[in-house]
Amino acid sequence: MSTTATHCPYCALQCAMTLTPAPSSETGAGAAVEGRDFPTNNGRLCRKGFSAPELLASRQRITAPLLRGDDGEFREAGWDEVLDLLAEKISAMRAAHGPDSIAVFGAGGLTNEKAYQLGKFARLALGTRLIDYNGRFCMSSAAAAGNRSFGLDRGLPFPLTDLQQASTILLLGSNVADTMPPFVQHLEGARAAGGLIVVDPRKSATAALTDDAGGLHLQSAPGTDLELLLGLAHVILNEGLADLEYLAARTSGLAALRRTLAPWWPERTEQVTGVPAAQIRRAAHHLGNAARQARDAVVRGETPAKVFVLTGRGIEQHANGTDTTTAAINLALLLGLPGTPGGGFGTLTGQGNGQGGREHGQKSDQLPGYRKIDDPVARAHVAAAWSVPESLIPGPGIPAAQLLYSLGGSHGGTLPDGTPGPRVLMVHGSNVAVSAPDANRVIEGLRRLDFLVVADFFLSETAAEADLVLPVLQWAEEEGTMTNLEGRILRRRRGLTPPPGARDELWIMAELARRLGAPGTYSRDAREVFDELRAASAGGLADYSGIDYADLDAGRAVYWPFRASEHDDGGAAPAGAMLGTPRLFLDRFAHPDGRAKLVPVRPAPTPPGDAAGLRRVGNGGSRPDGDPSALALTVITGRLLEHYQSGAQTRRTEALAAAAPEARAEIHPAAAAQLGLEDGGWIELRNSQGVVVVRCQYSAAIRTDAVFVPFHYPGLGSVNRLVTSALDPISSMPAFKNAKVTARAVPAPERESHPDDARTGAAV
């Protein structure tokens, strides 16, 4: 049997794996995988990766287009029928209400080729400016912070393997031991040296790694990461730990930053964060001394024990996520880390192609190559690459949450400017009914639409709301590229024959564009699309023009930016050679003056009413005055070891679903006692946004003022029902991590129906 070298379909670690078709399958639908030696995973896979092939042969898979009839039920239909119908509806809608009556929602799991062509298709074939994607819910705050501090956003601006040389790593808001287990091996050097410092309101599996190795867990109060970072930076700057030579040579803005850090001495920081002042000083001095030792080693010509500051969604998914990530960057700059041999700063991308998916046109304000859509020079370049007049490219759209909140222009949905919202929505690779903030509001918007189209391989909760579901290929059945968390471009190779009724999204876009008489060209071949992407990205911040499939297929490590002028076509770089820019900022940062910017940030005042009517109860949550039966807590959302994103795939994997079949609320036993909750009983979490009812699970690992609920589940277990519509003013990141709720014990709920229960009348 032939085998295929490819990569895992889940997180941005993109672990390498070898795919072997199942011998009993006539169509190739089914396979086995094993880990493949590769720098990011060294042959290891997590349980999600090992079980990924199960879905290729799933009986729940959609293998023919599903069209909803007048009776409300789905029926199978042919491709010509549904594409003709969709083209007619799009044409009629544009003629009656303009191109912005149609919107597109993409995903960070699409290949680079699909993400690129989807942006082009939306803007040229549909003519709409209304496109964004679910990466806005993952990386937007980190991207905004990186752009304003460094002038460029790449998750890790260094190879992941550099972490293996670390003596000290400060990890904020990321539980990698559960979300990307093979990553943990890259922390072992710092852990063994007693230099792993984890910031998390929970004693997560990652925070627990500090227990037996002399590391440190800073268990800050939910939503106080910014204040904690200001406190750490205060100590670094005021106790002689900052790299003043580096700051003078490579940064700007120190004087203004110094003024904003002055009020955050450790004792004051302790009052806000709950982290003892002694721990704040200990962490700061460890970081400062380790950074100094790394600098001294470099001066002596020795290999340094590196120091890194890494961030994740835990500090970014807040209404101040950009400022909090900026504070983490400021801390790294004060230590003299970014762009040096002594360490660096990075942020851990979540989705499989979260990095590449945001570089080439899915974001509402960007064109390929990480170009701003309102930049005349950028528009002219991309228009030339697309062979269309620049005037055909629409202007900026609106970010993901605002787009989803505006749905249903014919039934009251409005855009931020008050005009009617889109009436038709096309969703590719995203399950917004579960993953979006203020999920009840989003589902209402989906139901207001005149026509909803979802491209997926399962009948997800979003697809179940659709008028038309288009069956698409899975990871093992398609060609293309992905960009992992370190900015390395990887090949996704086709190793299996897809079911006869499923189609590649490149093919779907090409067929629709032909029916719409769209300007430009739309290839069905991933390699041709990538070649066009190279040309469109040339000269941009994320320049892929020097990258080709030949280098990727030869096993060379290729990192963007990689300009065509840097590519040696006549060379014979060996397999494993590093091409492009594996390490950014070694000589200069991406701002015009070459310096990184120290950007002063301050905590926002507590929103009016946020604490109104609440009084403290011991060291736990707060209780609404006059209501002794409820306890107000902060909900922290996150992921489990067994599941991924909205769970649309992992909840359909037998072993993973059996291991974690339902949402559970982790709550401290002391808080549970005040509520009269039993371990394994049921708890209702409620606020003005919605209600969630889940099983209670005692956990001494969480603070008494918080409750942790994973976001992988639908229905009454959908914790994103509780997330408010508050957004970061810079990145438009939703505030997923700090919804305030009341909590009380309730009886067991009745089981809710699910799209897979009845198959909604279709032979799925």
Residue 747 lies in a domain: yes
Instruction: Determine the Cα–Cα distance for residues 739 and 173; give it in Å rounded to an integer.
Output: 16
Amino acid at 493: R
User: 753 is written with which tokens?
Assistant: 């129906």
Question: 103, 225, 231, 123: which is closest to 173 by C-alpha?
Answer: 225
Q: What is the mean pLDDT of each run of 10 residues along the chain (764 residues)?
A: 91 96 59 94 96 93 97 97 98 98 97 98 98 93 96 96 97 96 97 97 96 91 97 98 98 97 98 97 98 97 97 94 97 98 94 90 95 97 98 97 96 94 97 96 97 97 98 97 97 95 98 97 97 97 95 94 84 80 97 98 66 36 49 90 94 95 96 94 95 97 96 96 94 93 92 60 34
Number of separate domains in the chain: 5
DSSP 481: E
SS3 assignment, position 11: coil
Residue span of the structural domain in which 687 resides: 620-755
* One domain, residues 96 and 151: no
Report the DSSP pairing between strands 631-638 and 664-667.
unpaired
CATH code of the domain covering residue 40: 2.20.25.90
8 A C-beta contact, residue 468 and residue 65 = yes
The neighbouring-strand residues paired with 132 are: 105
8 A C-beta contact, residue 57 and residue 29 = yes
CA angle 673, 675, 679 (to 5 degrees): 60
Largest CA distance in the chain: 78
Instruction: Determine the Cα–Cα distance for residues 157 and 175; give it in Å rounded to an integer.
Output: 20
SS3 assignment, position 723: coil
Residue 602 lies in a domain: no
Q: What are phi and psi of 209, to 5 degrees?
A: -65, -15
CATH code of the domain covering residue 454: 3.40.50.740
Supply the pLDDT for residue 761.
38
Distances (CA, A) of 92 to 101, 336, 423, 516, 664: 10, 58, 12, 11, 46
Element (H, E) at 287: helix 277-299
* One domain, residues 98 and 144: no
Residue 118 burial (CB count, 10 A): 28
* One domain, residues 406 and 388: yes
- Long-range contacts of residues 657-661, Cβ cutoff 8 Å, at least 24 apart: 659/47, 660/710, 660/712
Residue 761 lies in a domain: no
**Residues with Cβ < 8 Å from 92, sequence gap 6 or more?**
none
* One domain, residues 365 and 461: yes
Residue 495 lies in a domain: no
Distances (CA, A) of 654 to 55, 58, 325: 10, 10, 37
Supply the pLDDT for residue 606.
57
8 A C-beta contact, residue 315 and residue 273 = no
Distances (CA, A) of 15 to 307, 352, 473, 500: 24, 10, 20, 29
Domain end (from 322, 347, 372): 347
Burial category of 205 from C-beta neighbours within 10 Å (exposed 0-12, middle 13-18, buried 19 and up): middle
Report the DSSP pairing between strands 216-218 and 251-252.
unpaired
CATH code of the domain covering residue 628: 2.40.40.20
SS3 assignment, position 45: coil
* One domain, residues 559 and 634: no
* One domain, residues 161 and 239: yes
Residue 477 lies in a domain: no
Supply the pLDDT for residue 349.
87
Supply the pLDDT for residue 84.
98
Question: 619, 648, 620: which is closest to 714 by C-alpha?
Answer: 648
Instruction: Determine the Cα–Cα distance for residues 438 and 718; give it in Å rounded to an integer.
Output: 10
Instruction: Determine the Cα–Cα distance for residues 682 and 317; give it in Å rounded to an integer.
Output: 27
* One domain, residues 430 and 325: no
Instruction: Determine the Cα–Cα distance for residues 366 and 381; give it in Å rounded to an integer.
Output: 13
pTM: 0.94
Residue 407 lies in a domain: yes
Supply the pLDDT for residue 575.
74
Residue 315 lies in a domain: yes
Instruction: Determine the Cα–Cα distance for residues 388 and 386; give it in Å rounded to an integer.
Output: 6
CATH code of the domain covering residue 243: 3.40.228.10
Supply the pLDDT for residue 631.
63
* One domain, residues 383 and 530: yes
DSSP string, 405-465: HT--GGGT-B-TTSSB--SEEEEES--HHHHSSSHHHHHHHHHH-SEEEEEESS--TTGGG
Amino acid at 168: T
Distances (CA, A) of 673 to 514, 620, 667: 63, 11, 10
The neighbouring-strand residues paired with 251 are: 596
Question: 215, 253, 212: which is closest to 233 by C-alpha?
Answer: 253
Instruction: Determine the Cα–Cα distance for residues 407 and 428; give it in Å rounded to an integer.
Output: 16
Positive/negative CA dihedral, 336, 337, 340, 345: negative
8 A C-beta contact, residue 7 and residue 490 = yes
* One domain, residues 377 and 520: yes
* One domain, residues 202 and 330: yes
Domain end (from 482, 511, 541): 541
* One domain, residues 312 and 366: no
Amino acid at 647: G
- The distance of Cα 282 from the centroid of its chain, to the nearest Å, equals 32
* One domain, residues 273 and 171: yes
Instruction: Determine the Cα–Cα distance for residues 300 and 731; give it in Å rounded to an integer.
Output: 42
3-state secondary structure 365-419: CEECCCEECCCHHHHHHHHHHHCCCHHHCCCCCCCHHHHHHCCCHHHCCECCCCC
